[in-house]
Structure 1
Amino acid sequence: MIMNLQELQKQALQLPISDRWQLVQTLLESLQRETSFKLKKGNLSRLRGIAKNTETSSEDAETDYINYLTQKYQ
């Protein structure tokens, strides 16, 4: 039997308060795990190259850029 959200909410509200707190805690932990993984992955990709030395030769910069593009599109 597949339950829709409204049915699930109705049943959850009929649980004893200790069970509802347990359900809330379980759901929050699940959301934290999923969102923290996505945020970490996204943050790292946006920070790529932020600490590079600005005093590089044009040849080094070109090599670095080629390496960056190669890794990005593998």
Structure 2
Amino acid sequence: MATPTTAINSRERLTVEEVCADLGVSRSTFYDWRAKGRSPRCIKLPNGEIRVRRAELERWLDSREEAA
């Protein structure tokens, strides 16, 4: 049986809850970033729900990496 983390990592499109859990931030922080254009690019479904592609989240994280 897969652990919850394994199941999340294998999904191509993540829910806002999954992204927030992965980043360790609240929903309100994620939506604040989104309003300010600082979040990963999102997909808005016809029902209004938001998804983030796993590859986009990884790209977004890589773009925020600082040189040590």
| TM-score bracket for this pair, using the shorter chain length | under 0.3
Compute the TM-score of the two structures, normalised by the length of structure 1.
Answer: 0.25
> 1 or 2, which has the higher strand percentage?
2
Compute the TM-score of the two structures, normalised by the length of structure 2.
Answer: 0.26
